[in-house]
Amino acid sequence: MFIFVLQAFFTNTAHASGITRPLSVRQFGMGYIALSGQPDPLLLFASPVSIAAIDGWSAGSFYSRLFNLKDLSLTAFAGGKRFGRWVVGVGGSHFGFELFREQNLTLAAAYRLSAQFQWGVSLRYHRLSIKNYGGSGTISADAGWTYSITPNARLSGTLQNFNRAKIGAGDDALPQSFRMGFQFSPVDGVMAAAEVFK
């Protein structure tokens, strides 16, 4: 109930073109928190360091119809696999219909520098198509990190579109965002988390 109350009063589900939409059920259930340190490959769209928690391999998919309209369908898939200290992830998403489409393809990598510190980077290809107006694409870059202050507490951050990628002939860059999160787990199975998004 507490998460629901915070979500109802402090979040907004309308997203402009180019903004990463939440694509993980875990992210929805935690009030849109993306830096929870949980092994969910769909979180790689929000932060490349999120895949650092994956052991072995993991995959997931997501589908929704916003306002129950087929024209506003949102589909995504993602997967990740650990190779020693590295985790490599790939994901894709599609939003819209024949008149308006947004498509993304993301390649991410995260590295465990030590038991306390991990970092990750990703490249995302954005494609926007509008019927009778054509389409255009661009590549943006994201970076993230996480630091374990204690075995039960961690601090994380991520910066999306740090290269200020632009799509089409316009002068405006795709949206940039910054996240900073804190997680605390006093006992197994219980976690408190807070996140700031700008």
Q: What are phi and psi of 68, to 5 degrees?
A: 60, 30
Domain boundaries, the chain: 26-197
Stronger pLDDT, 109 or 189, i.e. the higher one = 109
**β-sheet with 177-184: strand ranges across:** 57-65, 73-83, 86-96, 100-112, 117-130, 134-150, 153-160, 177-184, 192-197
Q: What pTM value is reported for the model? A: 0.80
**pLDDT tens, residue by residue, 78-121:** 999 999 999 999 999 999 998 999 999 999 999 999 989 999 99
Residue type, 64: S
**CATH placement of domain 26-197:** 2.40.160.60
Stronger pLDDT, 39 or 82, i.e. the higher one = 82
Stronger pLDDT, 190 or 10, i.e. the higher one = 190
pLDDT of residue 19: 57
Contact 63, 73 (CB under 8 A): yes
